[in-house]
Amino acid sequence: MTTVTTGVPVRTPSVGTAHTRIEGRDKVTGAARYAGEVPFAGLAYGWLVLSTVARGRIRALDTEPVLAMPGVLSVLDHRNAPRVETDYTGLMGMRPDPTIAVFQHDQVPHLGWPVALVVAETSEQAREAAEALVVHYEEEPHDVEFGGEHPDAYPVDGHLPAVTEKGDLDAALASSAIVVDAEYTTPEEHHNPMEPHAATARWDGGRLEVIDSNQGATWVVGELANLFSLDPSAVRVRSEHVGGGFGSKGVRAHQVAAVMAATVLQRPVRVVLTRRQMFSLAGYRSPTTQRVRLGADADGRLRALEHRSLSLTSTVHEFIEPSAAVARVMYDADAHHTANRVVRLDVPTPTFMRAPGEAPGSFALEAALDELAEKCGIDPIELRLRNEPDKGPVSGLPFAGRNLAACFREGARRFAWADRDPRPGLRRDGRWLLGTGTAAASFPSGAAPSTATATAHPDGTFTVRISAADIGTGARTALTLVAADALRVAPERVRVRIGDSDFGPAMIAGGSMGTRSWSWAIKTAAGELLERLALGADIPPEGITVRSDTAAAIGALAPAERHSFGAQFAEVAVDVTTGEVRVRRMLGIFAAGRIVNPLTARGQFLGGMIWGISMALHEEAVRDRASGGHVGADLAGYHVATHADVPRIEADWIEDHDPDDPVGIKGIGEIGIVGAAAAVANAVWHATGVRHRSLPIRPDRVL
Nearest Cα to 297, choosing from 195, 383, 197, 207?
Answer: 383
- Residue, CB closest to ligand MOS: 247
Size of the chain in residues: 703
What is the x/- site pattern for ligand MOS, positions 498-517, by CB under 6 A? ------------xx------
Nearer to ligand MOS, 482 or 671 (CB): 671
663, amino acid identity: V
Site for ligand MOS in 241-260 (CB under 6 A): 245-247
Q: Which listed range, 346-354, 480-488, 570-578, 688-696, lies at the site for ligand MOS (CB under 6 A)? A: 346-354
* Least Cβ distance, residue 558 to ligand MOS (angstroms): 24
Residues 630 and 279 sit within 8 Å (Cβ to Cβ): yes
What is the x/- site pattern for ligand MOS, positions 453-492, by CB under 6 A? ----------------------------------------
Residues 546 and 480 sit within 8 Å (Cβ to Cβ): no
* Least Cβ distance, residue 512 to ligand MOS (angstroms): 7
Question: Among 267, 354, 420, 488, which residue interacts with ligand MOS (rule: CB under 6 A)?
Answer: 354
By CB under 6 A, tell whether 308 contacts ligand MOS. no
Q: How many residues sit close enough to ligand MOS to count as binding (CB under 6 A)?
A: 10
* Least Cβ distance, residue 500 to ligand MOS (angstroms): 20
Nearer to ligand MOS, 350 or 505 (CB): 350
What is the x/- site pattern for ligand MOS, positions 510-549, by CB under 6 A? xx--------------------------------------
**Angstrom distance (rounded) from CA 509 to CA 467:** 10
Nearer to ligand MOS, 36 or 511 (CB): 511
Question: Among 22, 126, 129, 353, which residue interacts with ligand MOS (rule: CB under 6 A)?
Answer: 353
Nearest Cα to 156, choosing from 363, 44, 318?
Answer: 318
703, amino acid identity: L
Identify the DSSP state of 17.
S
Nearer to ligand MOS, 358 or 656 (CB): 358
Nearer to ligand MOS, 193 or 629 (CB): 193
Q: Which residue is catalytic, options 188, 358, 619, 670? A: 670
By CB under 6 A, tell whether 361 contacts ligand MOS. no
Residues 83 and 139 sit within 8 Å (Cβ to Cβ): no
Nearest Cα to 646, choosing from 675, 666, 617, 671?
Answer: 617
Strands 154-155 and 235-238 come out as unpaired
* Least Cβ distance, residue 464 to ligand MOS (angstroms): 23
- Side-chain half-sphere of 501: how many Cα atoms within 13 Å? 26
Q: Which listed range, 172-180, 257-265, 347-355, 457-465, lies at the site for ligand MOS (CB under 6 A)? A: 347-355
CB-based contacts of 682: which residues, under 8 Å, 6+ apart?
366, 367, 370, 380, 437, 438, 439, 570
Q: How far is CA 295 from CA 172, 237, 301, in A?
A: 7, 52, 8
360, amino acid identity: P
* Least Cβ distance, residue 601 to ligand MOS (angstroms): 16
Burial label for 627, CB within 10 Å (0-12, 13-18, 19+), is middle
**Does 670 participate in catalysis according to the annotation?**
yes
By CB under 6 A, tell whether 190 contacts ligand MOS. no
Site for ligand MOS in 213-232 (CB under 6 A): 215
3-state secondary structure of 275: helix
By CB under 6 A, tell whether 357 contacts ligand MOS. no
- Side-chain half-sphere of 164: how many Cα atoms within 13 Å? 23
Nearer to ligand MOS, 114 or 510 (CB): 510
* Least Cβ distance, residue 671 to ligand MOS (angstroms): 12
CB-based contacts of 423: which residues, under 8 Å, 6+ apart?
none
**Angstrom distance (rounded) from CA 655 to CA 183:** 36
Nearer to ligand MOS, 353 or 641 (CB): 353
* Least Cβ distance, residue 352 to ligand MOS (angstroms): 4
Nearer to ligand MOS, 246 or 605 (CB): 246
The DSSP H or E segment spanning 465 is strand 462-466
Nearer to ligand MOS, 462 or 518 (CB): 518
Identify the DSSP state of 549.
E
How is 95-152 classified by DSSP, letter by letter?
PPPGGGSTTSSSEE-STT-EEEEEEESSHHHHHHHHHH-EEEEEE--------SS-TT
* Least Cβ distance, residue 473 to ligand MOS (angstroms): 10
- Side-chain half-sphere of 209: how many Cα atoms within 13 Å? 17
Nearer to ligand MOS, 412 or 671 (CB): 671
Nearer to ligand MOS, 411 or 566 (CB): 566
Q: Which listed range, 32-40, 68-76, 239-247, 398-406, lies at the site for ligand MOS (CB under 6 A)? A: 239-247
* Least Cβ distance, residue 245 to ligand MOS (angstroms): 6
Q: How far is CA 397 from CA 344, 384, 392, 401, 559, in A?
A: 34, 20, 5, 12, 7
**Angstrom distance (rounded) from CA 493 to CA 27:** 21
By CB under 6 A, tell whether 356 contacts ligand MOS. yes
* Least Cβ distance, residue 474 to ligand MOS (angstroms): 15
217, amino acid identity: A
CA dihedral 447, 511, 87, 208 (to 10 degrees): -80
CB-based contacts of 364: which residues, under 8 Å, 6+ apart?
184, 186, 288, 290, 292, 307, 309, 323, 678
In this structure, the number of other CB atoms found within 10 A of the CB of residue 283 comes to 25
Q: Which listed range, 25-33, 135-143, 310-318, 349-357, lies at the site for ligand MOS (CB under 6 A)? A: 349-357
What is the x/- site pattern for ligand MOS, positions 412-441, by CB under 6 A? ------------------------------
Nearer to ligand MOS, 352 or 503 (CB): 352
Residue numbers annotated as active site: 670
Q: Which residues of the chain form contacts with ligand MOS (CB under 6 A)?
A: 215, 245-247, 352-354, 356, 510-511
